[in-house]
Structure 1
């Protein structure tokens, strides 16, 4: 890199990506523009091209964050060890109560973007199927089979999607209490006192 370049042109890739993420989640993909980001960061347009080939490259990076941060965590939580179906569902619901695990505003922004982008919509559809398959496998692992496993898993997914698409906002503790009731509904059985206590302790 040329040492004569102003320091402000040497912002990291993460600085540009963080700014793009903030604009995207708040204002949509149409607002994510190179010059607008440069002005927001008080950087030069040229600096952008040290880290991204073009705007499409930046768009792809945003999608990669979504896949890693949201879909990845769902798959990980579904695969986490558990002694019972209720315990496994508590593992999954953790990521919808702890905002450090699952980024609901990002998920909603991606879905809004996909409505106008057929290629992204195909990716979202495939990703949703992967998420549904992972949750279905949780039920199957604990003896729920066939259509029952599929529709219970679909209910889990749609309940969470409904929360953030309707912009429902609850204090974390209230959402955790609700999570105990949802687990009972989804599993069709009451979680043990120890399972509930362990779950609630994670969200105090």
Structure 2
């Protein structure tokens, strides 16, 4: 096999996944097919099967990205040590503002895909439950329990989902200022000036 042909076959697994991710977020799961990906990358169909056993294997790789990048980061941010509920909520709301922490377009694309895939919808439902449990636990750490913790946590998550499902766009600084008000609403208490200043400074 010639050198350029070898390169086409042995492009990395990540090369294929990155291209699939871009197509998926832009055009939906129907666009993620082997031949269009190979053409986009100027690679061979054989090269795809060097890294994946079939198309569903590639789909699973996209799901892994979503689970780690989105659900995983919410669980991690809720568990970050905090001196107050407001500080803990600011740690979580970082996800809604910093695109390097939480991938909103990917989350929306996954939810759109799940509408037509019952197996995937079950997976998304489980992930949403994990997110809810984590946010609820954040409230419980600071003495808010029972239905109050459940519905406050649900409000936090539905507020964020509403932002990207409605395609709300606003400058990062404006979203951060709004985050200060959301923390006050979600927690039922006023964050300190130091807490607000630290949060706003992170998102300048």
TM-score normalised by the chain length of structure 1: 0.98
Superimposed CA distance per residue, residues 96-126 of structure 1 (whole angstroms, 9 cap, x where no aligned partner): 1000000000000000000000000000001
Distance, in Å, in 1 between the alignment partners of 2:191 and 2:171 is 22
**In structure 2, what is the equivalent of residue 203 of structure 1?**
203
Q: CA deviation at 1:10?
A: 1.8
The aligned residue for residue 137 of structure 2 is 137
CA distance in 2 between partners of 1:14 and 1:27 (Å): 19
Corresponding residue number in structure 1 for 2:159? 159
The 2-side partners of 1:167 and 1:64 are apart by 24
The correspondence of residues 68-87 of structure 1 with structure 2, limited to 5 A, is 68-87=68-87
CA distance in 2, matches of 1:111, 1:7: 35
SS of the residue 2:125 aligns to: helix
User: Does the residue aligned with 2:43 lie in a helix, a strand or coil?
Assistant: coil
Deviation at 1:6, TM superposition (A): 3.3
Structure 2 counterpart of 1:117 = 117
- The SS at the match of 2:51 is coil
The runs of 4+ residues in structure 1 deviating greater than 6 Å are none
- Provide the rounded CA distance (Å) in 2 between the counterparts of 1:51 and 1:88: 41
Q: Deviations over 1:177-198 (max 9, x none)?
A: 0000000000000000000000
Equivalent in the alignment of 1:56: 56
Looking at structure 1, the residues matched to 93 and 82 of structure 2 have their Cα atoms a distance apart, in angstroms, of 13
- Give deviations 1:79-99, integer Å, cap 9, x for gaps: 001000000000000011000
Q: Distance in 1 between matches of 2:2 and 2:136?
A: 55
| 1:8 counterpart residue number | 8
Gaps of 5+ in 2: none
Is 1:91 paired with 2:91? yes
- Residue 104 of structure 1 corresponds to which residue in structure 2? 104
Q: 1 CA distance for matches of 2:176 and 2:71? A: 21
For the residues of structure 2 that align with 1:158 and 1:78, how far apart are their CA atoms? 16
Which residue does the alignment assign to 1:25? Answer: 25
Alpha-carbon offset, residue 200 of structure 1: 0.5
State the 1:3 CA deviation.
Answer: 6.8
Residues 56-92 of structure 1 show CA distances to partners (whole Å, capped at 9, x for unaligned) of 0000000000000000000000000100000000000
Instruction: Name stretches of at least 5 consecutive residues in structure 1 with no aligned partner.
Output: none
The CA distance in 2 between the partners of 1:122 and 1:30, in whole Å, is 20
**Structure 1 CA distance for aligned equivalents of residues 143 and 66 of structure 2:** 31
Secondary structure of 2:50 counterpart: coil
Q: Distance in 2 between matches of 1:138 and 1:107?
A: 22
